[in-house]
């Protein structure tokens, strides 16, 4: 009997010990070890977010976010190039002989070399210290921009990832075929065709085109014919319904909020920052022998006044403080002979004059288009600032959508204050 009792007791104690061991093991497995781990080792692991580490220093903890969106340098900057029929871009280049009307060139074809920069300028007198100077045609901005876009570091083939959609429509080169045509329907046919194609793309449906933009190497008024009167100038591209939702970047913008101006292409297309610095240094050494020059002409519909100001044009590229680099003289003062331009300019103190000139020199990289072939460019040029402006504009639209607001509100309205130097965009 005693042996039997002993055997029962041992069996009970053994199972009890196994049960206790199992329970303790289970508790340890389920317990969040990080809650009692010594803080002296400097690292606290969070069980709530495995992608976030809290690194503790002597006084306070600093958050180090390891999530993929912050690690991606292109986050929020991806662009998608929309595929459109070649008749809207490359075919125009192939038929370059037909692009000469409305230009001062007998043949536009030679200006398409070097990715649209034109032929290199011969420098027999050694004026330039590098080979970044070209005979660039002012109407080829669309070609230059497209070639630069192909080298953009944050392109994506997945339109769902894109912050904005670039449409490589050569609007200015296209309309140059029809601007002088007496038929209204002919002038508008290509624009209607283009909008019909682009609005059927799946990318259009996402924001109905409000994240789309294109470039025009002509002034925006060439695309804003208000009436169907044959004598009225231009095409109706920007007044067609689908076009309202797109942003156009042109060399001169209208007063509508969906038009923005970007600089005309200059002859200088640097490959790297050192070439810009070199040119800036040279400009600082130059002595200016003339106080001012005037370039202008009366316009048919505005013979007795000044038509506009660069202040209202290059909002993304010029310094925000206009008085830091320029002098504004009210038109009425000159028209009424209350002031003379020469007198006003001569009255500027020399130290302010020097500071203003330095500001202009600092602006040089912001208003030139770097060579599209540049692989190691280390400065922001006019292209970069234009892209940045577009990304901010589209993000504003998305913010409205997230806030439950109407994204069309104010997107394409006429801005009557634009020509009174409003900075609001």
- Mark whether 262 and 384 lie in a shared domain: yes
- Mapping DSSP to helix (H, G, I), strand (E, B) and coil, where does residue 192 land? helix
Note the pLDDT tens digit of each residue in 72-83: 999 999 999 999
Question: Quick check: is 301 in a domain?
Answer: no
Looking at the DSSP bridge assignments, the partners of residue 65 are 52
CA distance 163 to 74: 10
| Distance between CA atoms of residues 185 and 268, nearest Å | 39
164 and 59 share one domain: no
Q: Indicate if 55 and 155 belong to the same structural domain.
A: no
Q: Determine which of 48-57, 355-364, 366-375 has the lowest per-residue pLDDT on average.
A: 48-57
Q: Looking at residue 182, what is its pLDDT? A: 93
- The mean-pLDDT minimum among 29-38, 46-55, 373-382 falls in 46-55
Binned at pLDDT 50, 70 and 90, residue 175 comes out as very high
Place of tokens 């439950």: 404
With H, G, I as helix, E, B as strand and everything else as coil, classify residue 34. helix
Structure tokens given for 150 = 């192909």
What is the per-residue pLDDT for 331?
A: 76
Asked whether residue 64 falls in the same domain as residue 143, the answer is no
Would you place residue 334 in the very low, low, confident or very high pLDDT band (cuts 50, 70, 90)? confident
| 179 and 53 share one domain | no
Reduced to 3 states (helix: H, G, I; strand: E, B; else coil), residue 44 is strand
Distances (CA, A) of 190 to 91, 171, 243, 248: 13, 9, 13, 16
Q: What is the mean pLDDT of residues 68-74?
A: 75
Look at residue 76 in the predicted model and tell me its pLDDT: 95
Residue 199 is assigned to a structural domain of this protein: yes
Contacts of 199 (CB under 8 A, 6+ apart): 209, 242
CA–CA separation, 118 vs 140, rounded Å?
9
- Do 58 and 91 share a domain, yes or no? no
Give the closest residue to 248 by CA, choosing from 276, 207, 219, 271.
Answer: 219
Provide the whole-model pTM: 0.80
The residue that leads in pLDDT, 17 or 301, is 301
Average pLDDT along the chain: 83
Q: What is the pLDDT of residue 367?
A: 97
Place of tokens 């001062």: 104
Q: Report CA 195 to chain centroid distance, whole Å.
A: 22
> Which domain, by its residues, includes 58?
40-71
pLDDT of residue 303: 66
CA distances from 337 to 147, 251, 308 (A): 48, 32, 20
140 phi-psi bin (left φ>0, alpha ψ -120 to 50, beta other)? alpha
> Is the domain of 106 the same as that of 171?
yes
Looking at residue 419, its pLDDT comes to: 63
116 lies in the same domain as 248: yes
**Averaged pLDDT for residues 72-99:** 96
Domain shared by 62 and 148, yes or no: no
Find residue 256's DSSP bridge partners.
Answer: 414
Cα 177 to the center of its chain, rounded Å: 28
> Taking Cα atoms as reference points, which of 395, 399, 397, 423 lies closest to residue 408?
397
Lowest mean pLDDT among 28-42, 71-85, 293-307, 328-342: 28-42
Domain count of the fold of the chain:
2
Do 62 and 90 share a domain, yes or no? no
Q: What pLDDT does 127 receive?
A: 86
- Please compute the mean of the pLDDT values over residues 9-20 and round it to a whole number: 43
Model confidence at 60: pLDDT above 70: no
On whether the CB atoms of residues 90 and 107 are closer than 8 A, the answer is no
Both 111 and 55 in a single domain?
A: no
- In the prediction, which pLDDT does 330 show? 80
Cα–Cα separations (whole angstroms), residue 26 to 20, 32, 45, 290, 417: 10, 12, 21, 89, 72
Query: Based on the domain organization, do 54 and 184 belong to the same domain?
Result: no
* 3-state class (DSSP) for residue 136: coil
């Amino acid at each position: 009997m005693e042996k039997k009792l002993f055997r029962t007791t041992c069996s009970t104690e053994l199972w009890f010990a196994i049960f206790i061991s199992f329970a303790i093991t289970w508790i340890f497995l389920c317990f969040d070890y990080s809650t009692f781990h010594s803080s002296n080792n400097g690292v606290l692991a969070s069980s709530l977010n495995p992608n976030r580490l809290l690194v503790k220093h002597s006084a306070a903890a600093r958050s180090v976010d390891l999530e993929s969106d912050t690690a991606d340098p292109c986050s929020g900057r991806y662009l998608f190039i929309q595929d459109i029929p070649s008749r809207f871009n490359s075919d125009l280049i192939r038929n370059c002989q037909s692009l000469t009307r409305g230009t001062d060139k007998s043949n536009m074809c030679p200006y398409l070399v070097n990715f649209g920069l034109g032929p290199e300028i011969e420098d027999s007198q050694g004026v330039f210290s590098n080979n970044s100077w070209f005979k660039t045609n002012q109407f080829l901005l669309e070609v230059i921009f497209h070639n630069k876009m192909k080298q953009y570091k944050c392109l994506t083939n997945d339109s769902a990832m894109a912050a904005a959609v670039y449409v490589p429509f050569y609007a200015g080169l296209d309309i140059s075929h029809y601007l002088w045509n007496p038929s209204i329907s002919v002038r508008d046919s290509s624009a209607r065709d283009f909008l019909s194609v682009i609005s059927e793309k799946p990318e259009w449906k996402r924001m109905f085109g409000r994240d789309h933009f294109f470039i025009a190497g002509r002034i925006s008024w060439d695309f804003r014919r208000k009436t169907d009167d044959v004598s009225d100038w231009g095409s109706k591209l920007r007044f067609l319904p689908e076009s309202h939702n797109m942003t156009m970047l042109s060399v001169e913008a209208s007063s509508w909020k969906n038009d923005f101006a970007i600089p005309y292409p200059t002859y200088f297309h640097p490959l790297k920052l050192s070439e810009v610095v070199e040119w800036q240094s040279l400009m600082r050494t130059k002595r200016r022998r003339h106080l001012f020059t005037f370039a202008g002409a009366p316009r048919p519909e505005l013979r007795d006044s000044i038509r506009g100001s660069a202040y209202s044009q290059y909002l993304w590229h010029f310094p925000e403080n206009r008085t830091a680099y320029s002098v504004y003289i009210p038109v009425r003062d000159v028209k009424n002979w209350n002031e003379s331009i020469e007198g006003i300019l001569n009255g500027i103190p020399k130290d302010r004059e020097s500071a203003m000139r330095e500001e202009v020199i600092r602006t040089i990289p912001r208003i030139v288009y770097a060579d599209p072939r540049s692989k190691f460019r280390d400065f922001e040029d006019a292209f970069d600032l234009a892209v940045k402006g577009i990304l901010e504009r589209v993000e504003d639209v998305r913010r409205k959508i997230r806030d439950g607001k109407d994204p069309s509100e104010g997107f394409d309205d006429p801005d009557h204050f634009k020509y009174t130097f409003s900075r609001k965009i």
